[in-house]
Structures are given as C-alpha cells and as structure tokens.
Amino acid sequence: MTVMAVIKRPGRSRAAWQLAARQHSVVARWQLHDLGFTDHAIAHRVKTGRLRRVHPGVYSIGSAELARGGRWRAALLWAGSDSVLSHSSSAALWKIDEEWAVTEVTVPRQRRISSDGIRVHRTTRPPPEDVVLHAGFHVTSVVRTLIDLAARHSTKRLEAAVNAAVRRRLIELDELRRAVAARPGLRGVPHLRKLLDDRTFRLTDSELERRFLPLAAAAGLPVPETRVVLNGFRVDFFWPRLGLVVETDGLRYHWTKDEQQRDRIRDHAHSEAGLYPLRFTHEQVAHEPDSVVRTLSRVAARLRGR
C-alpha cells in the first residue's frame, strides 16, 4: 500500500497560491512583497520554475500555459490599478466580438509602458460610466467598447457586434443611441452614429439576415420591421404596408423533416391571415443575389397593385 505524503506549504506560500487561484493563476511582485516575500525569495522561485515571468513584475504559478483570463489578469496587474481591459479584449469578455488575438488595455495618457503580447492604448481619464467591473475584470463598458471597435472595424463587423450586444441584452438600442450621442469627441463615434441611424439600422439575428437587408433595399423595398411576432411566430422581416413576410433559412436550420413541417405551418398561418410569406435559402441569399432582388421586386410590385 502506497502512502502519499502530504506536503504542507509555509503560510506565505499557501497564501500566494490562494491569491493566484483567485487571479487566474497569476500574481504581481508587489502582492508577493505584501505577503512577506523578499526579492531574493522571488528570484529563487523564478530560478527553480515555481514562478514564471509573464510581464515585468508579474508571474504565473504552475507550469500550465495561461488561459485567456490569466493573460488578461496578468496584463492588468502589469499595467497598474487604473488600467482597464479594452477594445478586442473587452469585446471578447462581453462576448460581442470573439476575434481576439492580443490582449488590449487602456491606461492614463501620461503613462508610457510596453510589454510583449500587450497592446496599450492611452487616453484621458474616462468617465466613470465607461469603466465597469464585469466577470471580475475592470473593463470598458459595452458602450465604450462598441465606440472603440467602431474606430477600427468595418461596418459589417461593427453591425454584428451591435446585434450581439442587444441580443445578449447588454444594452437596448435606444439606450445605445443616446449614450453614443453623449460622447461626441471619441474617435469611433461618427462611424457608430451613422450605423445606428434609426432610418436604416435594424436588428437581425444572423449573418444571413444581415446579407439580406441590402438585397431588399436594392429591390426598392423600404426598411422592414425585424424580430416581430406575427400570428404566433417571430419572423425575420415584415413589411406591414405590403403584407409581405420574408424568412431567410440558414444552413444549420430548416433542413430536417420536422423543421420543414414547422416552416409550412408558419407560412400557412401567415397566408390565412392575408399576408404573403416568402422564403429564401442560404444558397439564394449568398450566391444568387440578383435572383433574390428580382423576385422581391416582382412580388412587391404585385402586392402594391393589390
């Protein structure tokens, strides 16, 4: 029978491990000092591999590679107590844009710092409402994150981020419009305000639906209502004056027998209510846009005449 020895760590070592466990496996030099570690003790642990340098004055505990949260925490510990996660890192934390490659933080303008693996942004002190505590991290608010993204992203990608923020109920669209209007001096504001123009912007649930909207405009149709419930079903697009309902069927849905049956029930319910249901597939929207525009134009003309 094998008896496993229980290794008791000294009090300060146990405290360091507990602290690191709360901080995604990272700890700062100043925190180790507060726990009673000397520079010599820290250097010894780095030499023996018990501490691994991540950034100047910041270490990870353990041999495993840091996960995303650990890299974010290490960056904030390195950048200082008044630093915040921002830009792509903030967007990834809020889950509104997942294309995250490098950790990004924002620090006060006067601070000049740099470290491998971190992109540093400098700004005047942001207003309190632009910095929040979310999932244990100090991070730019959803509004400020979208403004920062607007300064660098295409309209298509920015629209996807806005849709994600509203779909996740992080902010209401009218609230976002008001908040953006109250920050006229920030770089991304003009792009975001243009996108949020209530005469043209509508919420959609998927990339397929975002691709469809320009085709409807090309067919001469006005901006539709989206995400509305008709006859007990939520529809993708609705033109009330025409009585036209359009659904866009993605690749991941609408292909099994049961799903197709539900689609028929939806379409029949709209027809019985005097509406004209029209359905386009992913293939049509993505690869046959001229055909979609032509069909929409002809159907709209017939409905106007009706």
Could you give the CA distance from residue 234 to residue 232 in angstroms, rounded to a whole number? 7
Instruction: Kindly state the DSSP code that residue 170 receives in the 8-state scheme.
Output: S
Mean pLDDT, the chain, integer: 88
Q: What is the pLDDT of residue 6?
A: 36
User: Residue 206's pLDDT is what?
Assistant: 75
- What's residue 56's pLDDT? 94
> 207-305: what fold?
Endonuclease; Chain A (3.40.960)
For position 259, what pLDDT does the model report? 64
Q: 94-134, pLDDT tens digit by residue?
A: 999 977 778 999 999 888 888 888 999 998 877 889 999 99
- Domain-wise residue ranges, the chain: 11-63, 70-195, 207-305
- Give 10-29 pLDDT, tens digit per residue: 588 899 999 999 999 999 99
Between 143 and 169, residue with greater pLDDT:
143
Global pTM value: 0.75
pLDDT band, residue 8 (cuts 50/70/90): very low
DSSP one-letter string for 27-42: EEHHHHHHTT--HHHH
SS3 114: coil
The dihedral formed by the CA atoms of 240, 242, 243 and 245, expressed in degrees to the nearest 10: -90
Query: What count of residues does the chain have?
Result: 306
Strands across the sheet containing 276-281 = 225-230, 233-239, 244-249, 276-281
